[in-house]
Amino acid sequence: MGDTNGQSKTTEGEYTPHEREVVGSVIEIWKKNPATETLGNAKLHQLVKREHPTWSLSEKRLKNLLKQHGLQTHTPIVQYVSETVSAPTPGLELPPGVRLEMTKSRGKALYAARAFSEGDLIWEEEPLVLVAPLDVIPLMRKTLACAHCARPFQQRSKAGGVPMGGSDCKTCPARWCGPKCRKADCIHAALWHQAGHTRVKEDVWQRFEQFCLENEWNAAYGYGIVLLNMLKDPSKGKLRKKIDAMAQVRQDVRQKAVDSAQPQSSNPFGGGGGGLLQEQYEALWKEGYELLRDAVGPSYTLTYDEWMLGLGMFNINNLDGNLFLTQSHLNHSCAPNVDVKIVGRTAGIKVYAKRAIKQGEELLTTYVNPNDPLAKRRYDLRVNWGFQCNCTRCKEEDKEATQAAEAQLSGLTLATPMADRTRRKSVRFDEKPQLQSS
């Protein structure tokens, strides 16, 4: 019988596999050796037939099934690093032993102005903009957590369970950990007080806040907090200049990389397919924009273009939900020479030398989990930061994986690293990146 999508008997000892079996077999091959994802349909067909010699399966049918389920090989890689721009940061005070260069290929980059030994503290810094974790906001609104740093209160009074200690706001129910958080909270009135002098519609802001909570939209809330900090900046515009100098890219441009990494149709065989449709993304972007625009409307005219740039900026620059100034200049390597340690929500970060660093070396961090296999690291970097990593480590691992794929094609046995994911990983449009690109 001819090739069909159903299962049917053919000659003795052979049968036409169901499409579920075919696609499942391909995914297993990719999981065992991610390098086989780069093979063309002809070579991939050879591997499938080697795994299942009794299958009656043509190369044409395999190609059609891969296309049908959004699993085509040699899909063009979407990158947006060329559309990401940044500018020199005005008034940047660098730590001792660190210098900044503007490069053509890597944008802003930090270099060692002197040698560092392994374990040396290179610098430490507090957040430029502190953003409360989205899931702690309900506690803040119930005065069970600090209105600035979001640290939950531990002690309660015996009568009524009211948090003890800290500082109370004289106008609203909000509480702070102490005088330091109270003084640092320059946007408190805009978030909590229904008063004309705040120049922000507090009730609309809270609807925006709730909208972000319901949609688990960290980037939207984060950018909203950044915008309020810029509008209420006591330094009269210096914060905006620093934010504007950070890496900038529109969120809809970033979305193209997410979409290209997901199958075009629902894939029940272990792939992604859980992402939203483009129309849903656009509707969500528009609704979030209108809420934030109306909230700040009395004092600022927020444009849609600025909103989309703000979402992209926050996504590629935040570290643990906060923005840091000096750290935002670090570029990526899968074999980094610095280690960025998060000390605490308000204490910020400390940057250590991961190994001995020579004078003149670029200081490099990692944006992804360095323990992940090559395919996953490259996937995460391409989707979240828009570039294909070709550091020395990636090139070496790529070469080894390619050799393993060719050996597998030749029928040889060669151990390869197991991938810890299926080929198609669904990534939310606002997934929080771990580290920042410049």
Q: Give, to the nearest 10 degrees, the angle between helix 19-32 and helix 41-51.
A: 100
Specify the amino acid at residue 61.
R
Residue for token pair 């947006």: 80
Residue-level pLDDT at 49: 87
- Residue 303: name the closest of 283, 286, 316 by CA: 286
Element of type H or E holding 139:
helix 137-141
8 Å CB contact between 230 and 243: yes
CB atoms within 10 A of CB 245: 19
* Distance (Å, whole) CA 169 – CA 221: 23
Helix (H, G, I), strand (E, B) or coil at 422: coil
Helix (H, G, I), strand (E, B) or coil at 15: strand
Residue-level pLDDT at 371: 92
Apex CA 402: angle with CA 373 and CA 269, to 5°? 60
How far are the Cα atoms of 136, 159, 182, 234 from residue 167, in angstroms, in the given order?
19, 19, 7, 21
Residue-level pLDDT at 167: 75
Q: Across the 438 residues of the chain, what is the mean pLDDT of every consecutive 10-residue run?
A: 46 80 87 74 86 91 84 69 91 95 88 98 97 94 92 68 68 90 92 77 94 96 97 92 96 83 37 57 95 93 98 96 97 97 92 98 96 88 90 89 74 46 34 38
Residue for token pair 């934030």: 292
Cα-Cα-Cα-Cα dihedral sign, residues 24, 7, 71, 37: positive
Q: What is the pTM of this model?
A: 0.78
Residue-level pLDDT at 353: 98
* Distance (Å, whole) CA 316 – CA 328: 9
Question: Which pair of tokens denotes residue 211?
Answer: 């909208």
- Residue 247: name the closest of 98, 437, 387, 104 by CA: 437
Q: Are strands 331-332 and 364-365 parallel, antiparallel or unpaired?
A: parallel
Residue-level pLDDT at 73: 58
